[in-house]
Every structure is written in C-alpha cells, then in structure tokens.
Structure 1
Amino acid sequence: MKKLLALSILAACSAPTFADVNYSLNISQPQHHLGNVTVEFPKTAQAHLDIKLPAWRTGRYEILNLANGVRYFDAKDSTGNPLKWEKIDHSTWRVHLNKPTKVNLAYQVYANELGKRARHIDDSHAFIDASGFFMFSDSFRQEPVTVNLEVPKQWRSVSGMKNNKGKNTFKAADYDVLVDSPIETGINQLHTFKVDGREYDLVIWGDGNYDVELMLTDLKKLVATGNVIWDGYPYERYVFMVHATSGAGGATEHLNSTIIQRPRDRFAKREDYLAFISTAAHEFIHTWNVKAYRPAGLTPYDYTNMNYSKLLWIAEGSTSYFEDHLLVRSGIQSTDEFFNLLSKTINRHLQTPGREVQSASETSFDKWINQGGDHARNYSTNIYSEGSLLSLALDIDLLEKSQGKISYRDVHKALYKQHKLPAGFTSLDVLNILKDLTGRDYNTWWQTNVDSPVSLNFDELLNKVGLTFERPEKAKALASIDAVAKNTGQLLTLSHVKRGGSAWQAGLTTDDKIVAINKHHVGKDLTSSLEMYKAGDKITIDYIRRDALASTSLVLSEDFDKPKKVIANKQASSEQKALFKAWIGVEHPNNAKKD
C-alpha cells in the first residue's frame, strides 16, 4: 500500500499542471495605433520556451508576417528577474530558463492594418484577432486562456467568447478557440436577437448608409436556414461584426462569429446590400464548412507556416455556391437576383483563360502563392468561382441522376456528420460519400473536373433545371482587341491582355500605352475608339513601351456590349421544373404556365 501511495504521489508530481494562460491588452494610445500586451504562461521546467506569433490568420490563406508589428519584447521569470531570449525565426522568440518558473512576457503591437482583419487600433475602436496580438507556446496551446482588455471607459467589447468577470474580460477553452474568436471593442452599435433558442449579436462600428432594421430582419431569416443543409448547429451564440469603413472591404469567418467590412457608403443600393447579405451568408455557412469540418492539411492549424490542401475549392467555392441557395430559400433574394449573380460567375469563368491551364485542385494547393493581376487571370483560376461552378456541376449531376432525391447538400450533411474536427477530410472521403449516396464511382468525374482543368457546358448544364444561358436580344456586336485598357490621364494603358487574343498575338502586353489606332489618337476609352470598326477588320496600333514609340497590326475580334444571362426557359418541361425546385428550393419562375 505504501508503495502504491508513493507511486501515486510521484505520478501526481510529474503530471503537467493545468493552468490558464493569461493575456492582457492595454490600449492607452489608440490614436497612435498602439497596444501593450502582457502574457503569463504557467510554470514550466523546460530548458527553454519557444514563444510564437502566427504568421497568418485563419480564413486568409496568405502569409502576413504579423510579427513585423512587435516591438519592445521582454521576458521575466516569476519573481520579475529578466530572462535571456533570442529571436530564432520570423515568428518565434526563444526564452531560456535556468530553473522551473512561470514566464511573463511584455511587448508592444502596432496595429494599423484594418483591411487584413488581423489587427487595427484607432481612437474609435480596436479589432482584435488573436493572430495579430497574442503570442502562444505549443507547450500550452491546449490550456485555457483568459483575455483582459484595458480600454477607454466609453468603449464596449463584444466577442463570441464567454465573458469572464466583466465586460472587458473573456475566456476561451484554449488558444485555438481564442485565435478563432475575434474581439470588437470601441464605440459601436449592439443589437441582439434570438432565433430557435440561439443567441445572436449584430455589432456595427462606423457610420454608414446601412439600414439596421433591414439587416436584422434578413439576418434572422438567414440564420434559420442552417437545417436546409446540415443536421444541427455547431454553436449556441454567434456574433456578426460589421465595419463601415473608409475603403477597406472583405470578410472573414470564425468559430463563433464573422467580421464583415464594407465602405460606409456601400450598403443602401440594392446591389450593394445584396453584396453585404451574400457575404453574411457566406461567412455563416463557414460555421459548418471550415469551422466544423475542413480538409486535411488545415487541421490542426499550423499558425507559422503554409497549410496546404487541394480541397480549398470545397472550403471556399462550395461555400460561395451555397450562399445564394440559402438567400433564395429564405426569401431574402429573388430568383432573378440569383440568376444575375450566377450569370456574373459564369461569364467571369469564361473570360478567364487560366481555366484552361489550372485545375481546381492545383489552384487550391497554390492559393498561398497565387499571383494577382494579368498573369493570374491568364494562367490560373481562383478557388471561389471555380469551386462554386464545380459545386453547381456536381449538384445538378446528383439531382438529375437521382430524380431530385440526392443533392450536393447531402454531401455536406455527411461531411458534418462523419468528419467533424479535429480530423480533416480527404478527397477519398468525399468520393466515398458520393459512392455511399449514389452507388456510383465518381473517380472519373473527379479526375476530369477537379484534378484537370474543367470544361463545363453551361447550356447543357442549366437546361437540366429549366434555365438557359443566352445573349440578350438587343445585345450589340462590338469590335475588340481582347484587352482591357484604363485611362491613366492622357493615354490608355493596357491592364489586361487576354492570352491567345488578338492583342496578345500582336505582341501587346500590360502597361503598353495606346497612342493611336490607324494613326488617329485614341479617345477616353478603348470601346469608343473602336466604334467605327467591326470584327475582322485589320488595324494598326501605335503604342509606347519603355518610353519608346512602337507599332503593331492586328485583326479585331468580336465582342458584345451585353454579356450572356441566365434566364428561365419558357418551354421548360414539368421534369425540368421539378428538378429546379429540388435544386434551389423554390418554384420555377414559369411553373404557373402549363407545358
């Protein structure tokens, strides 16, 4: 018995001590975008403790080098004595320990990058994503954390985390929850509501031409649609954070919240409002797709390195695809508005030469290094539009072959049920779900559409659900050089030259400045200057490159002043109309008419 007791005592002494990691952020100089952070790590007997600040933040697959805002780093032991430290890489500080002790850090953060949605402080608010403020150690990543804010008295602090002992103190189960639970603190509006027993906050920072009542009405409709796809909700409380900005825009999903940024004057027009509520739907869907289940390679998050996956087209593109479904089903968006948005996605895809070069799996894997600008458009795609259209193709294929009984929603329902975190799902997991649902092998479909550059027949695809993709009757044919030119003052400068198009074949490239067409000075825009010509005409273009005048000839191609549009087929059969309803959840626009 004594031996057993001694072993028990020894085991208890050697077991790790579970204690909170305590963070504090003091914002006393908000006008200078500065915050002072202190961190207390529990007692450890390690020879050194590696302390890290993430190099990127969740939801944005790009290395942001967030450690570049850190200054005045300092480390002390439990009694306040200095600890030796050194920086060993771009995001890691190594603190050396000569005896067991707590580790207390202090450092300053410069936070003036609103659009990156990682760190921003000014005299009216602070947006706090832990990625940009709070360092962590892998040794204590799974320990509970507390965050205390010292901010101006008139500021209000809101987060998806639980409040702990006051409005400016929050608690999370571990660092992963903290890093996925941003805090909005400052002068803001706060509106709360409940739907189906779950609590929601809408917090708005900044003045703008938004309609709060409309936002609340539609958000209530939106959050009630989760059961359209999934069985159950992964949260009890959710926060919509909205920034009405002086220019910054974008949004990011989080575990229990989202941050949505739009210019302050981009809410009132119907087109602008639809962009806002579509973004809200997108981030809401991410609560399941990415935050409840996500591809292998993205779990657990490696906060200091790239996290590769060939399935980002599902994580982001399928989310984009489903946002319109929820908006139409909830009555927030009309079918005509949905058709307009789908038309834009299809036309953007068809006007992107990179779709012939890069597959969805390749663009997913390369998201971390994808270039922007003309080269990207000519040689690559993006995970959002490609993933959305792949989701469309797969959804209609599933619906058609099952006579409306099986859809792509069932795939995501199964992902949520079978592949919840912490494990990530693989391509094989998705293929197995497809086979389980349909009894068919989708390996060939996957190889053709996901692992190879996709080639979709939109006329055939949309016809299956009673739609057509056609040019408006009054569309006017135009002559084109297959390039985009921007007015930069006195001259038009090429900003995009379509790979394989007439300008490309003539040797023109981006940043060439167009001087004249057939010896006549070009006007304020390229379209006007080409009005007197028609497709097939041969023209001479004088241009400036490297400050020297040059000339080339090309044959004009055909374009139109109006793009193709998705519209309801007036001759749709009853079978097509039934499939349309199974697809989008509402009646076909022409359902009242007899076949």
Structure 2
Amino acid sequence: MLKRTLIASALAALTFPAAADVDYYIDLTEPTHHTGDVSITFPATDKDYLEVKMPAWRTGYYRILNLANGVREFSAQTDDGEPLQWHKVDKSTWRIQIPETAKGDEVVVDYQIYADLLGRRARHIDDSHAYLDASAVFMYADEYRQQPVSVELNVRDDWRSVSGMEKTAEHRFVADNWDILVDSPIETGINDLYQFEVDGREYELVIWGEGNLDHQQTVEDLKKLVTTGPEIWDGYPYERYVFMVHLTTDAGGATEHRNSTIIQRPRYRYGSRDDYLSFMSTASHEFVHTWNVKAYRPSPLVPYDYQKENYTDLFWLAEGSTSYFQDHLLMVADIMAPDEYFERLADDIESHYRKPGTEVMSVAEASFEAWSDQYGDRAQNFSVNIYSEGAMVSWQLDMALLEATDGEVSYRDVHNELYQRFDADEVGFTAADVLTILQDLTGQSWQNWWQQNINSPVGEIPFADMLASAGLELSFASADKQTPWVGWSGNAAPAGIELTRVERNGPAWNAGFTPGDVIVAYDGFRAAGGRFDEALKEYEVGDEVEVTYFRRDQLHTTTLVIGEQQHTGASITPVAEPTAKQKARFLQWLGVPHPNASPAD
C-alpha cells in the first residue's frame, strides 16, 4: 500500500504543477485616462505552452461582456527577462510558447487594461479611485486556477484599498485561489470607511463619491440588517463582510460577491424615505445573495465557466427568491414598516398585471433565456423577468407550503436546506434536488405544482386569496377611477412622439401600432409640445381617436379606440379583526406580527 501511494504521488507530481503562488500586480499611479498596468507571475511549467485567459463575463451579471476587449500591449517573458513568443487562440485566450530553455522558469505576463465599465461593475479606473472586479482585470491559467494568489496595488499616497480578501499590507491582498480573487472585488481610492462588529463578525462599509446618503444612518441600519440571517439560515457563510457603495452619476445597480457586495446608485437618490428604502432593499438583496447564489447555487454554475454562458433553469430561484426575501428581512430588522412593505408589494402586483409575457413564458424558460438580451416590447409582451416574476412564484410557493403544512414549513426552510446540503465550492443543485427537499420537508410530492407554476407560463396568480389567508385585503381603483388607456409608451421626437413599447392585446396593439411609429397628430391636433399624454386622459373609455403617424417616413392615419386598464391603484390593507389563523399565517409568512395583532398574540 505504501509503495502504491508513493507511485501515485510521483505520477501526480508529473501531471500537476507544484503548489505555488500566482502573483498579481497592478500599477494605478497614472489613472486619469482609465488605464492600469498589470503584471502576473505564473509558476514554472514543464508544458510546451501556457494559456492565459480573460473571462468573457463576470458573476452576478448574466451577459457575455467580452472582457478581453480592454487588454492592450500584451507581452510575456521568463522571470529572468527572456522574451516568450505568444499568439491569440481566440478572443479571450493568449497561448504562450515555453521553449525547453524556459521550462524551469516562472512566466511573467504584462499588459495594459483599459477600465471604463463602471455601470457594469466590472472595472473602472479614474483619478479618484479604481474598482477592480478580477474577472475584468486579472487573467488566469486553468492549471493554476486553484493555486494561492496575491494581489499588490501600486497606488497614489492618499488612496485606501478595501476588499473581502485577507489583507496582508496596506495595498496587498491574498486568497486561497483565483476563484476567491475573482469573487472579491477591490475598491481603492479616496473613500470613506466605516468598520463595525456584530455578533463576532466583522463588517466594513466603504463609500466612494459624494451625495446625500446619511452615512451614519446607513451604518446603524446595516448593523440591524446583518443580524437577520438566522431568520432563514442556520449559520453564516462568512466571518467578515464588506459593503461597497458608489455614489455616482452614470451608473446604477448592484452585484453580490462571496463576502462583499458593490452597490451603485445616483448620488442624490438617498434623501427621500422611498429612495433610502430602495437603497436598503438593494443592500438586503445582496446580503441574501451571500447565501443564495454564493453559498449554494444551481449546478451549471459550479464551478463557474468564465468562457461561455452557464445555462440553468433556476435563475428564477437564484434572483427571484432573493428579491422575494429582501424586504422581509428589512421588516424583521425594523428598517421597513409593514405598511411600507404593503405599498411596495401592491406596486409589484400592478406590474405583474401589466406584463402580457406572463401568459407566454415560464420562469424556468426565462431562467434559461437569461443570457439572451430581451428588450423593448418583446421583453414585456412575450417574456418574464427572473427577478420580478421569480419573486411572484417564490411567494406562491411559500404560501402553498404554509397551507400544506398548517404553517409548519415555509419557503425559508427550503433555502436553509439548500444551504445545508449544497456547498457551492463543491457541488450545485438541480430542480430535482429542490423537489426532493420539498418532499422531504412536507412528506408529499410537488411535481404537479412545479409543472403548473415553474415549468408553465406564470399566468394568473391568486394574489387576493394569498393575502386574505394572512389577514390582508387586496383592492384596486374603482371603475369610475380607472384612467383611459391606450397601451403604449414613447419618447419625444422632433416630429412628435416615437413609440418605444406597445402592450400586446392593448388598444394601440389592436389598432396596429408598433415601436418606431412616430405619432404626429390626434384628431387633427399636433402631438408634439408636451400636451399629448395629458390630452389622451381627457377622452373616455370607448372613444375613437384618429391618430396620424409616420412609419418608414410615410404618413398614415388609423383609428384608436380608448380602452380601460384593469388592476390599477392596487392597495393592500390589514383587516381590522384578523382571525387567530390569519395572525398566525402572517407571522409565519413575514416573521413579524400582524399590524392588528394584540400584544397578547
């Protein structure tokens, strides 16, 4: 047995590179024109060539970005300075030839990176900071992907560097492998930093930019938010977590990472209560992602393949379920009041009714198609969104579980089981695995439910019944308050109004209008000048309007019949005297007492 072990070890040594660090270095001392100089030292190899690659996409943004397009002035040499020949194999891969004379030497790769992708949260370098997502900055080699890495930054004297990685010097970080590096973005520059500890875990909030965000209020609310993990999961997947916030002008959005997040919002979109809650909802969304996506995720994303699309039918669970939970945690943390949650949920219900694509596409199909860019009225009319509709079906599943088990099992239990059973560093889960968990938790099959609600078009959702079971009433604007409706939207154009969206089966759709049409007149009056939308509201349901428009530079006239939009003015209110069962269901669902529950409850 010992002899066999020694032989196996010897073969392994011949097949795989010995453990050695991959060292990354980036010079950011001349950042004004969005460039940095990267140098990577790879361990020696006995192969005839070394292939280094730049990812084609980054985690949390399911689009091919072709991130190698920012690379210029590529070169390779040995650590002794001997130049190495190379050529590109494809858009993201550089093959470096390793002659016999260089097979014992480390390989040094140098290139310039152009970084002006702030809104993609990929890479951005300017005279005030650099945001570096490694997937868009640092190349890797497959054979060294699991080797330890270090990252050293050469920056201006007044810059500060922050990352979720372990920090060994002011501007130096280390990680166990490239996959951790690529999921631990770096924010370096002129910033505000706040550090705090909650329940033995360390947290940092780093803010780049100026705006009307109340820094101290944010720190206090984040302290409350991060205590809510046990509402869903048994345990935390991190000991240290970093919130990165960009107060900017030209970017908005957020991305989850292994033990950090990056949140971008316009610099003056924090002052009102609604804006601030929207920001905190985003923070909560990314916090939920620390478990759902980063600690456990669908199997086609384990491990991430950064050179091509990673298809799955479960993005609705990864993103939609995260959207579903985000405001629940804000209520538990006493950051959002129940009535504020009801208002947001009512808006989501209205949005669902305004999306004809729910009659066409399932959330499973939407998940698989997430890599394809759906846009314009095509997205609205024939597709559904993995975030919004994923949240709706997550809510359906939650209420179905509570009903089937008399409140003993909720959707939170499903996510805790996913966390306990699947480690994203090792193995992902499938739809069959989720169905197994559902059956294990409830003792019954959920195959038919899954087929009807996940694999079939979303369709009608029994919102009123689901809310009623928790002691809430759903209402819409009365018939006399429904506004006239044509089912289109557009932007001002030199000649009139250019249509950008036409809702399927709405009045404008039925009249034959399509995006790109330029409305120039209605009933003989000019459409331009800002009076168009206001004028249409003066018509009544059933009125006929003669609309003149350009299509392909030719003038046309057709008749538009004003319609009536249903399900507007949605409102959710607590019933005055909820039953004991309704109060219990409300608590089981949202984790907080019903607004009209007595202290004795």
Q: TM-score, normalised by structure 2?
A: 0.95
Alignment match, 2:408: 405
Is 1:272 the counterpart of 2:278 in the alignment? no
Q: Is 1:246 matched up with 2:249?
A: yes
| Equivalent residues in 2 for 1:350-389, closer than 5 Å | 350-389=353-392
Deviations 1:124-173 (A, max 9, x none): 00001001110000010000000000010110000010012x11000000
Shift of the 6–258 alpha-carbon distance from structure 1 to 2, 3 Å rule, reads: closer
Separation in 1, partners of 2:6, 2:577: 85
Partner of 1:483: 488
The DSSP-based 3-state class of the residue aligned with 1:149 is strand
| Preserved contact between residue 62 and residue 368 of structure 1 (Cα < 8 Å) | yes
Q: Secondary structure at the match of 2:559?
A: strand
The amino acid that maps onto 1:486 is N
Distance 2:576 2:397 in 1: 25
Aligned residues: 594
Aligned pair 1:301/2:301, yes or no? no
Is 1:585 matched up with 2:573? no
Which letter maps to 1:141?
Answer: R
Are residues 1:534 and 2:550 paired?
Answer: no
Matching residue's letter, 2:140 = F
CA distance in structure 2 between the aligned counterparts of 1:432 and 1:23, rounded to whole angstroms: 43
Contact 1:487–1:493 (CA<8 Å) still a contact in 2?
Answer: yes
The residue number in structure 1 matching 2:78 is: 77
Q: Which residue in 2 is equivalent to 1:50? A: 51
- Tell me by how many angstroms 1:529 deviates: 1.5
1:473 positional shift? 5.7
Q: What is the 5 A alignment of 1:95-494?
A: 95-99=96-100, 100=103, 101-164=105-168, 166-421=169-424, 422-455=426-459, 456-472=461-477, 476-488=481-493, 491-494=496-499
In 2, the alpha carbon distance for the partners of 1:468 and 1:492 equals 39
1:7 to 1:426, Cα distance in 2 relative to 1, 3 A? closer
Aligned AA (1:508)? F
The answer on whether the counterparts of 1:492 and 1:525 sit within 8 Å (CA) in structure 2 is: no
**Structure 1 position 484, deviation (Å):** 1.6
2:195 aligned partner, one-letter code:
T
Does the aligned pair in 2 maintain the 1:162–1:172 contact within 8 Å? yes
Kept in 1, the 8 Å contact 2:355–2:381? The answer is yes
The answer for the alignment partner of 1:495 in structure 2 is: 500
How far apart, in 2, do the equivalents of 1:6 and 1:181 lie? 37
1:38-90 Cα deviation digits (max 9, x unpaired) = 00100100111111001100110000111000000001123211111111111
Which whole-Å CA distance do the structure 2 matches of 1:561 and 1:492 have between them? 26
Given the superposition, is the C-alpha separation of residues 409 and 4 from structure 1 closer, same or farther in structure 2, using an over 3 Å criterion? closer
Aligned-partner Cα distance in 1 for 2:233–2:342: 25
Residues 211 and 267, structure 2, Cα contact 8 Å, conserved in 1: yes
1:67 corresponding residue in structure 2? 68
Moved more, 538-547 or 565-574: 565-574
For residues 164-204 of structure 1, give each alpha carbon's deviation from its aligned partner in whole angstroms, at most 9, with x where no partner exists.
2x110000000000000000000000000000000000000
Does structure 1 residue 559 correspond to structure 2 residue 559? Answer: no
- Does the 8 Å CA contact 1:485/1:526 hold for their aligned counterparts? no
Aligned partner of residue 514 in structure 1, secondary structure: strand
Q: 1:462 to 1:13 in 2, by over 3 A?
A: closer
> Which residue identity does 2:66 align to in structure 1?
N
Is the 1:54–1:303 Cα contact (8 Å) retained in structure 2? Answer: yes
Gaps of 5+ in 2: none
Q: CA deviation at 1:487?
A: 2.9
Post-superposition CA distance 1:459-493 (Å, at most 9, x none): 12221111222124697222221112333355122
Report the Cα distance in structure 2 between the residues aligned to 1:578 and 1:547, rounded to whole angstroms. Answer: 62
Write the distance in 2 (CA, Å) between the matches of 1:286 and 1:381: 21
Q: Share of identical aligned residues, percent?
A: 51
AA matched with 1:346: I
Shift of 1:534: 1.1
Task: Report Cα offsets for 1:83-122 as digits up to 9, x if no partner.
Answer: 1111111110111112213211000000011101110000
What TM-score results when the alignment is normalised by the length of structure 1? Answer: 0.96
Assess, with a 3 A threshold, how the Cα gap between structure 1 residues 515 and 143 changes in structure 2: closer, same or farther: same
Quickly say closer, same or farther: Cα 1:83–1:447, change in 2 above 3 A: same
Whether the 8 Å CA contact 1:54–1:132 is kept in 2: the answer is yes
3-state SS, counterpart of residue 43 of structure 2:
strand
Taking the aligned partners of 1:44 and 1:334, their CA distance within structure 2 comes to 59
Contiguous gaps of at least 5 residues in structure 1: none
* 1:314-346 Cα distance to aligned partner (Å, 9 max, x none): 000000000011001110000111111111222
Q: Which amino acid aligns with 2:506?
A: G
Pick which of 336-345 and 468-477 moved more: 468-477
Report the more deviating stretch, 232-241 or 348-357: 348-357
Q: Counterparts of 1:519 and 1:98 in 2: how far apart (Å)?
A: 79
Question: How well do the aligned residues superpose, as a CA RMSD in angstroms?
Answer: 2.2
